[in-house]
Structure 1
């Protein structure tokens, strides 16, 4: 037997299939003159052979004589007689406590310990861990059970189980989740195997429209004193340079001053024409002033913050050779012969053989765009065509999609 002195961190009723037991978790480390066991140890008190101790609460100082045993790789202290347990007082200490949530669990709760009740909507087995999607009063949240927790469960948790959960709020790849420390942190409070309930939680389906902020036009030259500020400039672009995930221009503004205009791919996705601006194009830009290798840059964070002040005619590129996925999003002009018409209901699709007949691409024309020229829906096999459109990819197949019938020129067979 060993004698342990310390104070209680947590006191939890054991599962219903172990009546008459209470699990008490002791504190690791040292506290003043009180010697505490140097590992997290469970103290199991058999209440059938011990008088009730109504003053036993988290923070209670105790002294116990116990047997040490190993259970599933974790040490436990087994108390045999009432005389082996002594409550010596209560101390003020930092105790891990939690209360049942009264609202949705959000990023504001990161690092906190929370408790809630709910129903297991979905269960995922991911290698050595399980992820439970639990619907509770205020939404739906992922509950993570690592292998160490799963090993301590008295019975598996299944879809449809009503559960009580206590755990720490964490975030993984932008998703809020609750992680458990041990198997006693999740308890089944309803019958296992009930019919799975459909989640009542609905995530917002509409994105809030981005609102461009009014920023006063910057006067004079931009300097390092303007770093990290949001400013507005009107100017002219030149000297385009392709980047791995974007494009940059020289931007001349305010009587000949220059700054680098940096447009990232996430912005170009919504305004493709910004990727190929002719020299001399006039823009109004709201963006953040940044510095890279001693060079000042103007970086807008949204396509709404870049306004074309000129009408830009999109110049289609003539194709030489075969198109690839690298051409996605570009405006191209192809000519060749069409085959294998397929009616899609809202449009029509052909196979267009181009590049001297050595390459082919899907030609997709929506009826809404060619309503003024319905003959485009009835092209015969082998008919010559010249088309200007945007290159897209669907299920691994490249497509060219003209905006309307004005971008399609038809010849003979």
Structure 2
């Protein structure tokens, strides 16, 4: 009622007439209406909150997300296929979740990210997750931002025990448990450590990115030869399986050694074993250096195999000299073939163990002395003793070749640099020297060679001396190319080059270049005296290079200074 029932005047919301004072009956108090409105609104909000917290968050697939879902609060379920990435300074966390329809990048910031880290809710590569958050759709880019740490659920599968050689690309995203021996540890670039593990079945790499160390701590230092157990998820790098652990704590040192090769009988090795790691034991029957390393024969009484050590492996041995004929050796390496011959190639110095040192030499007095005419291809691989006169000498980057002649035939006596350096009388080993040598018969490009294993296998019976006419340095012409000459003079200047040293000498009649290849230059007696102003006498072969004449000494002792 808006009018007074007594005087009839308009009274509006008043409960008593302001004119006559009559009380207006039947009107609901305004205060009560305000209180009722507040109570009703509060009840509505309570009901809305109750419905909101009780209603399930809608789950969507990655492929269903579109522009109309921007800012929607949804749940994504799938497997972590990239990440996680975590930056402590900015508090940023991200990882990528994939299902059968597509991928969504998931991110968390600052407090949320730190809470996830503190509560151990950050998923690892390969984990199954259920994540709820706010969608952001910007063009082709789709991301989900975590607002509530409790809306992240992580499910980590049980690890399946596997051998390293059994891992294939089909194991991608499978969680495995492996045991192996640390073969190598390397960092291909800053931010990634690759640990190669090996067992008797094969090898695989464990990838530990720096982001994993940021989240779970520093990786324990590992050394080749240590045995470890690793739990992780299989990832692929160019279709090659790699194991990615969820934490650095998933790499555990083992007290027992994990073998990397199975013992094998030398006589049972065939081409079918190529690529396989084996452990062989036996006695060194012969040993010799070659241009890229060192090799030796290993026999177990019934058969023999060649063990090949590349130069860095050989130089890394605790005592390379102990690897001589008669030594008892155990070696682990990969089976290979070269020209139809089985070889075992150890990759690390620690894979060669000398149980009993050898006495040196090839086989000493047990090698039969044969005339050179008796050598033929059928004797390749045999250890023989030969005797003859040096009739020719050739220098090459890894050693020297001396042609021996005994009147019945000729053979090349090949001395690798390491063998030459062990000679008791290198000055006497020159043209016209009478020599006895024991070595292994080999064939190279159709030429037979006798290759001693050590300098003690070469005996100079009668010292030799190269002879050549002494020529004025300015008298040499292109007509002298190919001839052996002797020259002497003062050193005018020197110049190093990639293969050795050039020395200009002048006896007053003109300059000529003395070309010293590295294998010769490094072994010249009193080499440090090859400086400008010093007097030098040299014997060598005249050669022409780009219009310049050069005298090229063949042996280090063909160069003398004063």
Q: Same fold (TM over 0.5)?
A: no
TM-score of the two chains, using structure 2 as the length reference: 0.33
Return the index of the structure with the highest Cα Rg.
2
Ranked by relative contact order (alpha carbons within 8 Å, sequence separation 6 or more), the top structure is 1
Which structure has greater helix proportion?
2
TM-score of the two chains, using structure 1 as the length reference: 0.42
